[in-house]
Structure 1
Amino acid sequence: MLQRRRFKQTKPLYERLADEAVRLREEARSLLPGQRRDMLLRKARQDETAMQIENWLRSPGLRPPT
């Protein structure tokens, strides 16, 4: 049976998403308009949306069901 590799993340998810969004936007800035640039900007927006969703899920307003 195959064993799954597991490792502990050193940075929280929101930090990893923020870092990747910044990296993608910087890479897109260096490209000419085109499909590759659009794809990088779309991925950066997806990362930013994921950060917002994660913040909503971690907000104190959400309570687990009792």
Structure 2
Amino acid sequence: MIGVNKDNVELGEKYNCKTSLLEREFSGTIIAKYENTCIVELLSCAFEDSQKALEYNNRFVIGFNDLA
């Protein structure tokens, strides 16, 4: 994953993301932006990750390097 410059990240925009908590990449919307990370609300993910996503209320803290 290439990563995105934090200055180019916009609230409400959709990105492909990765996290070590899920097996595969997922798509989500940026709902909060911080200095080195952002909070992403999951929009869609692989079936095998759906239960784990629910455990985290479909929200993940993601570094800008893990956005595409």
TM-score for the superposition, normalised by structure 2? 0.28
Structure showing greater relative contact order (alpha-carbon pairs closer than 8 Å, 6 or more residues apart): 2
Structure with the higher helix share, 1 or 2: 1
Bigger CA radius of gyration: 1
Q: What TM-score results when the alignment is normalised by the length of structure 1?
A: 0.28
Larger strand percent: 2
